[in-house]
DNA sequence: TATTGTTATACTCTATAACTATA
DNA sequence: TATAGTTATAGAGTATAACAATA
């Protein structure tokens, strides 16, 4: 390594300019930090936050369609296909032709999917606890309130 | 559309279970909302929040290396190459062989890049204002404080 | 030996467009 | 005509591994 001080040396010295005062920037940083903590505490089966959320929504809305699920997650229906394919391949989600509208696939969490969720939920709560650990309980609630207020409920 | 109520009808009725109480979930939602507002208010030149942040960091740390920049952004050095290639192609960033260590590329914002930033920064502030509009000024500051506290400064 | 930047390659997530089966 | 799901395809963004130049 050079000992010339005219070369910038350690990364910690970088000046982030106006970034730290931007909500967008701090939100992105917090979300990345959350993702990394999730990967360490929850993601040992290769699961992502998105997959976890998808499983929870199907579990709480049995029989919903792929289109409804895609809308709830804000993604295109074509994107949903491969995701459900994989989750079905893992045996966690089951597609069923709806008898009322034979175009739609009603989605269900299988027994194996229930076991997966039963394993995940405590890990998810542990992740929440460790990720939110720097905050007091009222601060954590206030953060949730402010985030909800900003995005509109 | 079916009139059978045994089919789930409107997406608004979906039950999100434990998700709304999770910091990870609300952070992700807020970040997505922020990204969309950014795209509407700032992204008219096809720029992303990541590119904007990169330009700001180079602007505030002229002559830094690609490796330093990659570390500051938390991405791999190999990923940085194509990004700098494009930004160089747009004429916003300039690579220069460092005379002290001829392996490294010192990065600089070009005059055109400065003009780009001069156009972007006001748009970014407008985006911040509209995105944070549901919050009062003290709430916005408190949100920033809580996010910083959680991710460790 | 180690590091910087590069290339080749692959994987994930996302979208658009065209298609089919069905409504 | 319109909608649900599918397929083909493409574009970002990311990573790992191997490499040349340089330290």
* Residue from the list B23, B38, B56 with its beta carbon closest to the beta carbon of A144: B23
Place of tokens 């579990």: A59
- The H or E element spanning position B146 is helix B137-151
A23 touches strand C (CB under 7 A): no
* Mean pLDDT, chain A, integer: 91
Q: How far apart are CA A55 and CA A113, in angstroms?
A: 8
Return the biggest CA–CA distance within chain A.
74
- The H or E element spanning position A131 is helix A111-131
Across the range B63-84, mean pLDDT stands at 97
Q: Over 70: is that where the pLDDT of B9 sits?
A: no
Distance B66 CA to C9 C1' (A): 22
Here the tokens at position A77 are 């229906």
* Residue from the list A30, A38, A147 with its beta carbon closest to the beta carbon of B151: A30
- Asked if residue B146 lies in contact with residue A135, where contact means CB atoms within 8 angstroms, the answer is yes
Chain A residues whose CB is inside 8 A of the B17 CB are 56-57, 59-60
Closest CA to A36 of B91, B151, B12: B151
Q: What is the pLDDT of residue B152?
A: 82
- Tens of pLDDT along A88-129? 999 999 999 999 999 999 999 999 999 999 999 999 999 999
Q: What is the pLDDT of residue B10?
A: 47
**Any idea which nucleotide's C1' is nearest the CA of B86?**
D12
Across the range B92-116, mean pLDDT stands at 97
């Amino acid at each position: 390594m050079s000992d010339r001080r005219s070369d910038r040396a350690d990364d910690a010295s970088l000046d982030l300019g106006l970034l730290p005062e931007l909500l967008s920037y701090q939100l992105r940083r917090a979300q990345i930090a959350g993702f990394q903590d999730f990967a360490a505490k929850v993601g040992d089966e290769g699961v992502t936050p998105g997959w976890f959320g998808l499983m929870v929504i199907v579990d709480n809305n049995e029989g919903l369609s792929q289109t409804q699920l895609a809308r709830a997650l804000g993604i295109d229906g074509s994107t949903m296909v491969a995701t459900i394919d994989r989750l079905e391949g893992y045996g966690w989600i089951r597609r069923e032709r709806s008898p009322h509208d034979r175009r739609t696939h009603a989605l269900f969490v299988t027994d194996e999917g229930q076991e997966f969720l039963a394993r995940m939920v405590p890990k998810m709560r542990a992740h929440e606890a460790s990720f939110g650990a720097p905050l007091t309980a009222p601060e954590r609630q206030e953060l949730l309130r402010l985030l909800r207020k900003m995005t509109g409920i």
